[in-house]
Chain A
Amino acid sequence: MTFPATTVIDDTPKVAERKAPDRGEGNPAKAGWGTRIFLILLCVAWMVPIFGTLVTSFRSYDDANKTGWWTVFTNPSTLGDLSFDNYTRAIEDSNMGNAFINSLAITLPATFIPILIAAFAAYAFTFMEFWGRDFLFLAIVSLLVVPNYVAFVPMLKIYANLEMNGTFPAVWLAHIGFGMSLAIYILRNYMATLPKTVIESAKIDGASHFQTFFRLILPMSVPALASFAIFQFLWVWNDLLVALVFIGPGQNEPVTVALAGLRTSVGQGWELTTAGGFIVIILPVVVFLAMQRFFVRGMTAGAVKG
């Protein structure tokens, strides 16, 4: 998967720099018809594939595999034939329900456990002086781009010795390890923008680092913690390769593996594949739409740097 935030994102100028008063009501360059048509066409092209998949997932086997999904609209009498049957079948017969639970079981720990660990490291990098600090942080920056492919063969062997292959902890730990450098990077960049005076006055008041971290820095860093959590959630939930390597198809498979498996089953109709597809994408889409603001803020993380 292409996960976006694996590079140094700190060029983006501050959004706040936009001189709103200078611009009057928004951009003085108003959209002409060409612009509008281009954007409308693009938006339609972006949505139609998803929409067609959604419609198909409610159609019966015969309808879905013999006529195009658009016939639902050209032939409105068939609207009554739409049902949730495919979802019931996908969830009960094709293991998607079980896989959905597995995905939750994989994603929740892999999302929340690394946050505190990364936050402590980011705190040390931002507010403490120690030997080798700059070098170690540069190491983290360079590790951001190392493909996680490196870990698969060596970890498979280690897991085999520990009899961990196919278990949830195998993927939890892998995702925690893979996400750690990005987490430290995002959090450290954010913490660097917090006012140093607050930390210093806490120190003068006799607060230890431990107290300063829990009482001041952690609460102040909530936006950055949230944006990392969303990143990590999407990345783990949507991951296929890590799950294929360390868990594989079977009783513990997450939804992505189950969906990839649906493709290969013999005689598989589109009505089931599309329903399976929607089971895979529904939760991240909801999370994404609800948390879009944090997500965008996380992507432009370096931008808030002061």
Chain B
Amino acid sequence: MAGKALTALITVVIGIGAALLLFYVLNKIAELLPARWEERIKPLLYILPAFLAIVVYLVYPTVLTFINSFKDRSSTEWVGLQNFEDLLTDPGFQDTILNTLLWMIVVPAACVILGLAVATLADRLGPRGEKTSKTIIFLPMAISMVGAATIWRFVYYAAPAGQNQIGLLNAGLGVFGIDPVAWLQQSQWHLNSFLLMVVLLWSQVGFSMVLLSAAVKGVPGDTLEAARIDGASERQIFFQVVVPQIKGTIITVYITVLIGVMKVFDIVYVMTNGNFNTNVLGNEFWNQLSTNFNNGAAAAIVVILMIAVIPIMVYQVRHFKAEEANA
């Protein structure tokens, strides 16, 4: 055991040392070139290792995944659009898509609203109260989804009726003499999916709060004062002065959470493994890969995810260009 830890430390040292050596050598190679070429080649050598990593782990796999999505389960024969057809005509997968859409609709919006509420309200507390409450709301961000799922599975836990309820939610019901509910199996109205979303919200609201809080504090004081002098109520000030000025941050937070939600996996995997109609794309990908050994279907699911991400990507690039133009 200690050997492994030592190996890790040695790897860190060797890894950093190797990177240093690599850049030293690359730099030397550039310096050997005639001055005119040195200036041209050097930056390319500086970005080379980083781009190598990106090409190997993102660009090349993306291309291959597109290709695999048109091939059979072991990626040997071409099957055209068969994978997509099989998936999209399967009622189970249709439910999976619907569930994922539900997550995408509910979680980012709820995250922004709750985060903005905490950011705005905590701003009115004294410095100590503000810091404490923000740290508490922020803390779950450090907790892994597996950890969060374990914590919340315990909250939702249902012992058979008649036994002592050790899950917080059912114990609460018990106080009012209500029979225990197997929460994670309640698929009516997607109740269980919503309960899973609570876990993600719990871990992500802090992120939304921190960014929005910085934005709220950045709203120039004189615009608020002017509104107050004009006799605006706190509510009017919030919706008509503050919100328009932090719109950019709201969109940023919304998109960031949205991208995360599209890929959600751990929570569903640990809490229900997609049973009781709670399946989402991320978990289905893992099922196809590890249980069905169907590379074609797994690749097709990733392609569906990629297509869903494209509008966000276009927005990002445009947004970035606009920002750079302003800078």
Contact = CB atoms under 8 A, between A and B. Distances in A.
Most buried by A among B15, B153, B265: B15
A3 B302 CA distance: 18
Nearest to B212: A12
A12 B214 contact: yes
Nearest to B258: A7
A174 interface: yes
Contacts of B58: 143, 146, 148, 150-151, 177-178, 181
A43 B131 CA distance: 12
Interface in B51-76: 51, 53-54, 56-62, 64-65, 68, 75
B8 to A, nearest CB: 4
Nearest to B10: A109
Contacts of B217: 15, 18
B27 A210 contact: yes
A144 B5 contact: no
Contacts of A104: 4-5, 8
B165 interface: yes
Contact of A26 (B126, B165, B266): B126
A255 to B, nearest CB: 8
Given A2-B204, A46-B140, A256 B146 contact: yes
Contact of B19 (A3, A49, A113, A244): A113
Interface residues of A, number: 137
User: Among B31, B59, B137, B259, which residue has the most Cβ atoms of chain A within 10 A?
Assistant: B259
A22 B164 contact: no
Interface size class of chain B, counting residues whose CB lies under 8 Å from the partner chain: 35 or more
A8 B265 contact: no
Contacts of A136: 47, 51
Contacts of A245: 289
A145 B320 contact: no
Interface string B232-274: 0010000000000110110110011101111111100110000
Contacts of A42: 118, 133, 137
B11 A281 contact: no
Interface stretch (A79-87, A116-124, A219-227): A116-124
Interface in B113-170: 117-118, 121-127, 129, 132-133, 135-147, 150-155, 157, 163-166, 168
Main secondary structure of the interface of B (DSSP, over half): helix
B246 to A, nearest CB: 8
A29 to B, nearest CB: 5
B78 to A, nearest CB: 16
Given A8-B252, A121-B46, A146-B309, A240 B54 contact: no
A2 B75 CA distance: 29
A218 B15 CA distance: 18
A2 B53 contact: no
Interface of B: 1-2, 4-5, 7-9, 11-12, 15-16, 19-20, 23-24, 27, 31, 40, 42-44, 46-47, 49-51, 53-54, 56-62, 64-65, 68, 75, 117-118, 121-127, 129, 132-133, 135-147, 150-155, 157, 163-166, 168, 171, 200, 202-204, 207, 210-211, 214-215, 217-222, 225, 228, 234, 245-246, 248-249, 251-252, 255-257, 259-266, 269-270, 282, 285-286, 289-290, 295, 298-299, 301-302, 305-306, 309, 312-313, 316-317, 319-321, 323, 327
5 contacts: A121-B47, A260-B270, A263-B270, A274-B154, A302-B323
The 7 closest A-B CB pairs, nearest first, are A177-B57, A2-B260, A11-B248, A13-B218, A238-B144, A22-B221, A288-B142
